[in-house]
Chain A
């Protein structure tokens, strides 16, 4: 059974750096083709893909946010970490991590869909 869980601060101040951790089980990022993404959703708004990391430590970022984002992994702990710098109130959102590409992996056939999601963590940016 695949599970993912996000953790991190519920409140950050403007200009601060946000660090979120995704802890997962049921698969391993040491396995070929496995990938994990971060996606966010402002209150009442649509989903926005942010970043992806794969088993080979290749990283992909949202075009509009790539200067502020960094994604990394700790394979031994089954964790993926997302940092976002210079936080602003418009970054208030629920942040999700998701396995990408299913059990076959994301690069197999270009399967960059999100098959298993964490429950999400709401991050509010306010002074």
Chain B
């Protein structure tokens, strides 16, 4: 089972600043099978990025996913008020089980 470690646990930033979130896998995630989700309090997660760098439908272009192998990054270029949330990465290599990271909380500084 692939373990995903997200860092930092909490990111304190101001609107307009750049956010850089990290997700590291315990073994290579082949073919960049890595997704990112955003979750706001009391809501279900929302798919942001799949295939490490492809934005899901309706996701603003300030969200950018990158990386390969074991190291992946979600970058939010300029934080909007609605971007303060918890973000999870998920790996989905060809065989189950598929796993999530423990999450990074982006909070208002």
Contact assessment for A47 and B97 in the assembled complex, using a CB-CB cutoff below 8 Å? no
Number of residues from B at the complex interface, CB < 8 A: 25
Q: Please report the C-alpha to C-alpha distance between residue A112 and residue B96 in the assembled complex, in whole angstroms.
A: 9
**C-beta contact mask, B27-64 vs A, less than 8 Å → 1, else 0?**
00001010101000001111100100000100000000
Docked Cα-Cα span, A118 to B45, in Å, equals 9
Give the interface size class of chain A: 20 to 34
| Chain B residues whose CB sits within 8 angstroms of the CB of A112 once the complex forms | 33, 92, 96, 98
Residues facing B in A51-77 (CB within 8 A) are 52, 60-63
Chain A residues contacting B33 (CB-CB under 8 Å) are 110, 112-113
Could you say which residues of chain B place their CB within 8 Å of the CB of A47? 37, 45, 88, 90, 100
Q: Please indicate the chain B residues that have their CB under 8 angstroms from the CB of A48 in the complex.
A: 100
Q: Determine whether the beta carbon of A52 is less than 8 Å from that of B96.
A: yes
CB < 8 Å neighbour of A113 from B31, B47, B94:
B47
CB distance from A103 to the nearest CB of B (A): 10
Contact B50 A111 (CB under 8 A): yes
Knowing that A49-B98, A112-B92 are A-B contacts, what are 14 other residue pairs whose CB atoms are under 8 Å apart, sorted by A's residue number? A46-B101, A47-B37, A47-B90, A47-B100, A49-B99, A49-B100, A52-B96, A60-B97, A61-B97, A62-B96, A63-B96, A110-B31, A111-B92, A113-B35
Q: What residues of chain A have their CB less than 8 Å away from a CB belonging to chain B?
A: 46-49, 52, 60-63, 96, 102, 110-120
| Residues of B participating in the A interface, judged by any CB pair closer than 8 Å | 1, 31, 33, 35, 37, 43-47, 50, 56, 88, 90, 92-94, 96-103
